[in-house]
Amino acid sequence: MPPLRPIRQRAHTVRTHLSLRFKPLYAGGGRPSIPPAKLLRSLLLSCLYSVRSDRLLTVQLDYNLLLRLFEGLSIRPRDHP
């Protein structure tokens, strides 16, 4: 199992560095996008745990506490109040 805490910290550092470059490219209006930090962490999880699709990743995020914490989600899954 990969050490997720250092990977999460490194992903945050990289995202912060890249956001300075990409900020001028974002549109001022329109539909809100998914935050780049979440996309980066999701891609990392997909690669590290060999998750074959985005749908399977969302299922894993519902049930795997370790992945939920890495992604920055609450401890409770979506279907619980």
Q: Pull the structure tokens for residue 3.
A: 């050490």
What's the CA gap between 62 and 49, in Å, rounded? 15
Q: Pull the structure tokens for residue 56.
A: 């399977």
What's the CA gap between 32 and 52, in Å, rounded? 26
pLDDT above 60 for 80? no
pTM: 0.66
pLDDT of residue 34: 75
pLDDT of residue 78: 63
Q: What is the pLDDT of residues 3-25, one digit of tens each?
A: 888 888 888 888 888 888 877 77
* 79: CB partners within 8 A, 6+ apart: 62
Query: 12: how many CB neighbours lie within 10 A of its CB?
Result: 14
Q: What is the pLDDT of residues 39-77, one digit of tens each?
A: 888 888 889 888 899 899 888 888 888 888 888 888 876
